Structure 1
Amino acid sequence: MAFVVLLIAFPVGWTLYLSFTDASGSVRAPSEFIGFENYFDVLTDTERFWPAVGRTVFFTGGALIVEMALGMAIALLLWRPFRGEKWVRIAILLPLVATPVAVGMMWRLIFEPNIGFANQALKWLGLPAQPWLSGQNTALPTLIFVDIWQWTPMVVLILLAGLTALSDEPDEAARVDGASAWQRFWYVTFPLIMPTFITAILLRGIDALKTFDILYATKGKGGGSFHEVETLNVYAYGLSFDYNKYGESSTVLILFFLMIIGCIWLLTARKKKGSN
């Protein structure tokens, strides 16, 4: 436990220290303590920081809502035994096998405006081609789709494990009483699986909040020419490794860390309330 605490406490503590300095240029360059100046500069930055916050929330919320709904639907379909279920489960889990960078590069080729398969399919259907990843308004929704494609299987696994652990008696009793399939799900199954559902939201939500590899692999530095997919992770990375502004970058990371801690606290409190 002491090792784990040290492993977490040291990088967080060092990042916190850097956020109060003007560290820049080089990690070995001398720096001065400037107090909360970096925090003031970042929190008043309406050009890059707050738009990045908005994109982070939009990306996380959009991906999480669809992944939870789709994951629950697929888990319910796989809950009962059926012929060929083993192969269906393997097929659903295949997106988890590839690394996020490989997935990003694959979908970058698929969504290529001129020769990509996505626009070729639209042409076959008589529909106009779309900019997909190259458009300012379509890049982030397209990457949300890519995230949904890769990480919905993770939600399916968690929810399916929760469904499998449930007793059949409540559902059978509701069925005998004449409840419909929707009523049995909404009033019986869903309340029983609520702790597992919140756990899935917690795990997937945190993971979606800190998504970086897919965004960087598809759009590169700054989240694109117009920062169209620049989330807080991409923004902090650019400050550190493109501009060498370590103090300002550390400030962004500390604020982001506090946001994640707040989300964890809210979801954990909701889970405890649901369990009671």
Structure 2
Amino acid sequence: MATTTTTKPPRSTVAAPETPGWLRWVDDHRKWLFAAPAMTFVAALLVFPLAWTAYLSLTDAEGSVRAESEFVGLANYLDVLSDIERFWPAVGRTATFTVVALLFEVVLGMAIALLLWRPFKGQRWVRVAILLPLVATPVAVGMMWRLIFDPNIGLANQLLGWFGIGPQPWLSGQYTALPTTIFIDVWQWTPMVVLILLAGLTSLSDEPQEAARIDGASTWQRFRHVTLPLLTPTLTVAILLRGIDALKTFDILYATKGRGGGSFHEVETLNVYAYGLSFDYNEYGISSTVLIIFFLIIIGAMWALTARRKEAQR
């Protein structure tokens, strides 16, 4: 009996339609396309004020920004850079405030973060208490400490009197005002550094620590050779964020000392100096020049810290 086998004809393969080139380009660059509206909006908010400030810095605008002004070129920059009575002392105070405050905040922030790293009883409440200074606005913090450091009725001098120490000028002294404002800044912003470093510590693996402990390394040796190198990228981020913020500090200084940074300009940083030129003396051309120079200083600081971060990540 003969058997017949039927073979099915092969299915015709239909080629998938080719994806248009523009669609492939959209797919390859979708992350930039999604972010483009927000980036464009932010760029517009930044470019216009910066361009307008740069323009004013090249004019002799004063009295009113709508008043007629003449183009003076780089004359304002020459005047500002040759000002050894107000500008360069303000630069020095800005650098001193930033470096000293950042140093204390990083050291204290690292110490507190290490203490909070390991679990202990009541850890949650301690963390909440440490982060409380971040809740208040800088102006409110400045006013609070201004009352505490008042030379006549302030709590600080009353506490010193209990230990037989005479009253101190604190914010009213020519040589004590800047260190006092640095203390206020450290009090408020050290918790921010603690928060960043604590997040970095909790993300570290326990294996290197255990290996070093088994090898007999001491607590300091484990911190110096294990924890600190692993935490360097996070530490660099904390320094970058807090350093730029400290460089721009204005509200605490103005809330505690008022216009001009005090009678002797003892806490007059570049921010306070530029504010006074604009709103106290209406010298918009000179103040814009100071702001542009200050902006370039901030950009330089950001570039240096970012380059340091990239080196740490290698």
TM range (shorter): over 0.9
- Find out whether 1:161 has 2:199 as its counterpart: yes
How far, CA to CA, are the matches of 2:172 and 2:283 in structure 1?
Answer: 28
Output the TM-score relative to the length of structure 1.
0.99
Larger radius of gyration: 2
Partner of 1:67: 105
**Deviation per CA, 1:155-198, whole angstroms, max 9, x where unpaired?**
00000000011111011100110000000001000010101101
Partner of 1:22: 60
1:91 corresponds, among 129, 143, 152, to: 129
- Find out whether 1:137 has 2:170 as its counterpart: no
Relative contact order, higher structure (CA 8 A, sep 6+): 1
Partner of 1:236: 274
- Find out whether 1:214 has 2:252 as its counterpart: yes
- Find out whether 1:184 has 2:222 as its counterpart: yes
Partner of 1:273: 311
SS across alignment from 1:22: coil
2:190 corresponds, among 152, 171, 175, to: 152
CA-based RMSD? 0.5
Partner of 1:123: 161
Percentage of pairs with the same residue? 76
1:262 corresponds, among 300, 304, 307, to: 300
How far, CA to CA, are the matches of 1:10 and 1:174 in structure 2?
Answer: 55
1:55 corresponds, among 84, 93, 112, to: 93
1:12 corresponds, among 50, 62, 65, to: 50
Q: 1:14 is aligned with what amino acid?
A: W
Structure 1 window deviating more from structure 2 (10-19 vs 66-75): it is: 10-19
**Deviation per CA, 1:244-266, whole angstroms, max 9, x where unpaired?**
00010000000000001001101
Q: 1:190 is aligned with what amino acid?
A: L
Shift of 1:2: 1.2
Partner of 1:76: 114
Shift of 1:4: 1.2
Q: 2:53 is aligned with what amino acid?
A: T
Shift of 1:115: 1.1
Equivalent pairs counted in the alignment come to 276
Q: 1:61 is aligned with what amino acid?
A: V
Output the TM-score relative to the length of structure 2.
0.87
Runs of 4+ in structure 1 over 4 Å off:
none
- Find out whether 1:252 has 2:290 as its counterpart: yes
How far, CA to CA, are the matches of 1:119 and 1:225 in structure 2?
Answer: 22
Unaligned runs of 5+ in 2: 1-38
Q: 1:147 is aligned with what amino acid?
A: D
Q: 1:86 is aligned with what amino acid?
A: R
How far, CA to CA, are the matches of 2:167 and 2:273 in structure 1?
Answer: 30
Shift of 1:210: 0.6
How far, CA to CA, are the matches of 2:122 and 2:162 in structure 1?
Answer: 32
Partner of 1:203: 241
